[in-house]
């Protein structure tokens, strides 16, 4: 039986500190907040849920889950929960989860499609891309070390639970790409402004797709590892038109193009 | 020559009030903030720019634009500008623009592809969809009356300027769809959970694509007007997987599918 106890000021301070990457890194935990994410975490059977926090108002609703999963739990007052929450409208339920600490798999372990993210900075974009990866059965995402942390609460929210199912790694990309390139196991595609029309290309798998930073695209040092540059053409031929698509929109369309022939 | 004058408290209050739909509706204006949007508005030659506001710090940068376009302008102190701004990091430049008040065009005026949005509520989603429409050369978007206002400052921001190029109308959808349906001019597609695999379908144009609300999908009263239900299949076959794609992701993939054969 899990025990119920009231939260201390020190615990609130500790949980609040996890909004920041520095403390998440030190403690090696993150949190997932809200009914949707908590349910997704439970149904995804992630191994390391350390703690469930819920408000007294949510007690009735949460207890069944709790008992069946046997997770240690803390009951909070609404006002204390709000101090920890990152949501505008807190739903009174939150999980504290141990981050997975697996090394990057051997190249041979990747399935037919992986994503490589070069300095994606916006939490919403990364969260959306993780959600897309889950949808398109992409099991691995490799992020450059400068990319936004996937355990940032805003990223976790935007994944809508996909964070529990997609394997995400952070590593210096030049190193990773030079190994991948030398292995010859995957065609390395880069989404670039001077790429070839994606709709006219025969896309090959196994493939690795590189997506670049929101403002600067793919770093110069990485271009040398790209086998094929691809581009989603602008169908608007007016003089005044958008310069680019948002990176998560591009990701959606590119993943769709790689998968559409698989059905 | 435009005249420079300092802003009054009443003007600040007036401009702040435009954050709310009620006052935008009454005054029939909206504003576009930040260097990117101001430049996009100028280069898109939208007809009704009523006012330019800029901070003293930005004076040097803005004056050339101002003179060449002959727009009335007000110079503000940074602290006053911040009271009006909707951005986290205000860039000290903002345009007040008259909203277009065109009636919905005749069905015959639509080009080969239009979007119909049934109660999209999230400003980021609407903004992203407008940006996608611009990219995929979709000139008209018809929104249900309950949809988020496209002149909401957050929507305007998310369009990255596409708001100045795409024609957006609000109208009761059942009425509009019954006319469109009866005209037989377009195939009406609906993005639904029980649709047919979009990748296996022969997509026809002229077409109208209906996208539904973030939580509830397409309203019941509207289903009767759909000729073809389409679905982006989930490629993840695990028991635990995402239930759905975000509506703007779906929009990206659907627009791409309709356009990919046009290249």
DSSP H stretches of helix in B44-172: 59-69, 78-84, 123-135, 153-159
pLDDT of residue B66: 61
CATH assignment of A9-98, among 3.40.50.300, 3.30.1330.30, 3.40.50.1000, 3.80.30.20: 3.30.1330.30
Query: In this structure, how many other beta carbons lie within 10 angstroms of the beta carbon of residue A196?
Result: 13
Q: What distance, in Å, lies between the first and last C-alpha atoms of chain B?
A: 47
List pLDDT tens digits, range B225-258.
999 999 999 999 988 888 889 999 999 999 999 9
pLDDT tens track for B43-94 = 888 888 999 998 988 776 665 666 667 788 888 899 999 999 988 889 999 9
Q: Write out chain A residues lying below 8 Å of B252, CB-based.
A: 245, 249, 252-253, 256
**Does the CB of A236 have a partner CB in chain B at under 8 Å?**
yes
Q: B76 is written with which tokens?
A: 């503000």
Which residue has 């407008």 as its token pair? B130
Tell me the percentage of chain A whose pLDDT exceeds 70. 95
Dihedral of CA A211/A119/A16/A26: which sign? Answer: positive
Helix (H) or strand (E) holding A258: helix A247-259
Out of B164, B242, B262, closest to residue A162 by CB: B242
Q: What is the pLDDT of residue B6?
A: 74
Residue B143 confidence (pLDDT): 98
Question: A159 vs chain B: nearest CA distance in angstroms?
Answer: 9
Which residues from A are below 8 Å from B133, CB to CB?
Answer: none
Residues in chain B: 263
Cα dihedral B68, B74, B80, B82 sign: negative
How many CB atoms lie under 10 A from the CB of residue B100?
14
Spatial neighbors of B257 by CB under 8 A, at least 6 apart, are A256, A260, B198, B199, B203
Mean of the per-residue pLDDT values of chain A: 91
pLDDT at site A39: 87
Which tens digits make up the pLDDT trace of B169-197?
999 999 999 999 999 999 999 999 999 99
Distance CA A132, CA A120 (A): 15
Confirm or reject contact between A88 and chain B (CB < 8 A). no
Q: How confident is the model at residue A213 (pLDDT cuts 50, 70, 90)?
A: very high
Give the Cα separation of A207 and A226 in Å (integer). 11
Whether the pLDDT of residue A232 is over 80: the answer is yes
Q: How confident is the model over B194-207, as a mean pLDDT? A: 96
Q: Which residue of B has its CA nearest to A262?
A: B235
- Distance of residue B252 Cα from the nearest chain A Cα, in angstroms: 6
Distance from CA of A260 to the nearest CA of B (A): 6
The answer to whether residue B199 neighbours chain A at the CB level (below 8 Å) is yes
Tokens standing for A200?
Answer: 């006219």
The answer, as to whether pTM is greater than 0.90, is yes
Residues B71-79: contacts with CB under 8 Å, at least 24 apart: B71/B2, B71/B95, B72/B2, B72/B3, B73/B2, B73/B3, B73/B4, B74/B4, B74/B5, B74/B6, B74/B7, B74/B11, B75/B4, B75/B5, B75/B6, B75/B7, B76/B6, B76/B7
Report the C-alpha gap between B63 and A131 in whole angstroms.
44
Percent of chain B with pLDDT over 90: 70
Is the model more confident about B45 or about A30? A30
| pLDDT for B13 beyond 70 | yes
Identify which of A39-48, B1-10, B96-105, B145-154 has the greatest average pLDDT. B145-154
| Residues of B with Cβ-Cβ distance to A200 under 8 angstroms | 263
Specify the fold of B107-262: Alpha/beta knot (3.40.1280)
Residue A10, min C-alpha distance to chain B (Å) = 31
* A85: pLDDT strictly greater than 50: yes
Domain ranges within chain B, ordered by starting residue = 9-98, 107-262
- Measure the CA–CA gap between B203 and B20, rounded to whole angstroms: 40
Q: Are A211 and A116 in contact (CB under 8 A)?
A: yes
Distance CA B44, CA B23 (A): 25
Q: Decide: B30 and B97 in contact? Cβ < 8 Å.
A: yes
Which of B235, B244, B245 is most worth mutating to test chain A (most A CB atoms within 10 A of its CB)? B235
Say if the Cβ atoms of B253 and A253 lie within 8 Å: yes
pLDDT band at A2 (very low <50, low <70, confident <90, very high): very low
């Amino acid at each position: 039986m899990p025990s119920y106890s009231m939260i201390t000021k020190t615990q609130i301070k500790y949980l609040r500190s996890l909004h920041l990457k520095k403390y998440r890194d030190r403690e090696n935990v993150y949190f997932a907040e809200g009914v949707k994410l908590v349910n997704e975490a439970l149904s995804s059977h992630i191994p390391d849920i350390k703690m469930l926090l819920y408000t007294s108002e949510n007690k009735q609703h949460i207890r069944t889950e709790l008992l069946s999963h046997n997770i240690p739990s803390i009951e909070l007052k609404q006002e204390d929960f709000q101090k920890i929450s990152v949501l505008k409208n807190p739903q009174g339920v939150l999980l504290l989860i141990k981050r997975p600490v697996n090394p990057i798999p051997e190249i041979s372990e990747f399935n037919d499609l992986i994503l490589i993210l070069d300095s994606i900075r916006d939490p919403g974009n990364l969260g959306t891309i993780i959600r897309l990866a889950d949808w398109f059965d992409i099991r691995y995402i490799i992020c450059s070390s400068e990319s936004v942390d996937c355990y940032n609460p805003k990223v976790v929210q935007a994944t809508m639970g996909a964070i529990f199912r997609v394997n995400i790694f952070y590593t210096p990309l030049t190193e990773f790409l030079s190994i991948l390139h030398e292995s010859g196991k995957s065609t390395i595609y880069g989404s670039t402004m001077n790429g070839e029309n994606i709709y006219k290309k025969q896309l090959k798998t196994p493939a690795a797709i590189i997506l670049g930073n929101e403002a600067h695209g793919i770093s110069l040092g990485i271009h040398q590892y790209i086998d094929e540059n691809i581009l989603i053409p602008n169908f608007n031929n007016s003089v005044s038109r958008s310069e680019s698509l948002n990176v998560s929109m591009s990701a959606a369309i590119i993943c769709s193009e790689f998968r559409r022939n698989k059905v």
